[in-house]
Amino acid sequence: MKQTNFLILGGNGKTGRRVAERLNGRGDSSIRIGSRRGSPAFDWENSGTWPDVIKGMDAVYISFQPDLAIPSAVDTIQHFVSMAAAAGVSKMVLLSGRGEKEAQRCEQIVQDTAASWTIVRASWFNQNFNEGIFLEPVLAGQVALPRADAPEPFVDADDIADVVVEALLDDKHDGQIYELTGPRLMTLRELVAEIGRATGREIQFHALSVEEYIEQLRAYQLSEEELWLVNYLFTEVLDGRNASVSTDIEKLLGRKAIDFVEYAERMAASGVWESK
């Protein structure tokens, strides 16, 4: 049996780490992690690092940082997928953002370039509350965010990873675009309340305007590109366009998508939200 060599970009991130864990240990596959700390190292901002990482790979999971919606992403993705295809990478699975029209330009590049491709469009991650930008406010017991009552079907990174692995291993997913969501719509206000219930802690939620939130972040010296992205996500993506639930996870995996309540209870039991 021929061994398949998988390149996992963002292999230390929320989804990439989980994809690598699921593929690791298979006798018919070899895993290479694409990250700045990898060996060889991979850096999206330095194309000189790409050839050594791509060499010898059969398939790649593309998780782009910080987001495919940023203006520079199109040129970067075009350069990378062209290089990968020329080097013999035949299958590409791209993580994209649900409802991000700008990201669809990157999706089209992959579709036009890769011999085999799958697009995975995901809604906002549950793990933003324990591995990402919302963790510190939760720990502090004071969460202040805009779009407090905009419904969004938050999805679990474990579900995304399971779908990506299916797409990498089974050719029946070639040429498919999947939309991954949680099983129901919840608002940011409701999500924070659920974390409070699961932990038994009082976590206060404060609704802000997008402008107020951007000014708060500017005080933390975020770059203008990061501020642009935050503004884009809260004004363009979380504007109601994604207020619907997809059943693609259930269809692909044969089980229901992980509910935020289940996620919150699991994370509460892990102690990640215990105040220091």
pLDDT digits (tens, 9 = 90+) for 142-152: 999 999 999 99
Nearest to 65 by CA among 47, 77, 54, 57: 77
The predicted pLDDT at position 223 comes to 87
The predicted pLDDT at position 107 comes to 98
HSE on the CB side for 118, CA within 13 Å? Answer: 24
pLDDT under 50: residue ranges of the chain = none
The predicted pLDDT at position 29 comes to 85
The set of residues, in sequence order, having a beta carbon less than 8 Å from that of 188 and lying 6+ positions away, is 143, 145, 147, 148, 149, 150, 152, 205
Contact (CB, 8 A) for 150 and 239: yes
The predicted pLDDT at position 276 comes to 64
pTM score over 0.75: yes
Q: What is the pLDDT of residues 27-60, one digit of tens each?
A: 788 999 999 999 999 999 999 999 999 999 999 9
SS (H, E, C) the chain: CCCEEEEEECCCCHHHHHHHHHHCCCCCEEEEEECCCCCCCCECCEHHHHHHHHCCCCEEEECCCCCCCCCCHHHHHHHHHHHHHHCCCCEEEEEEECCCCCHHHHHHHHHHHCCEEEEEEECCEHHHHCCCCCHHHHHHCEEEEECCCCCECCECHHHHHHHHHHHHHCHHHCCEEEEECCCCCECHHHHHHHHHHHHCCCCEEEEECHHHHHHHHHCCCCCHHHHHHHHHHHHHHCCCCCCCCCCHHHHHHCCCCCCHHHHHHHHHHHCCCCCC
Contact (CB, 8 A) for 94 and 180: no
> Is CATH 3.40.50.970 the right assignment for the domain spanning 4-124+154-182+242-257?
no
HSE on the CB side for 74, CA within 13 Å? Answer: 8
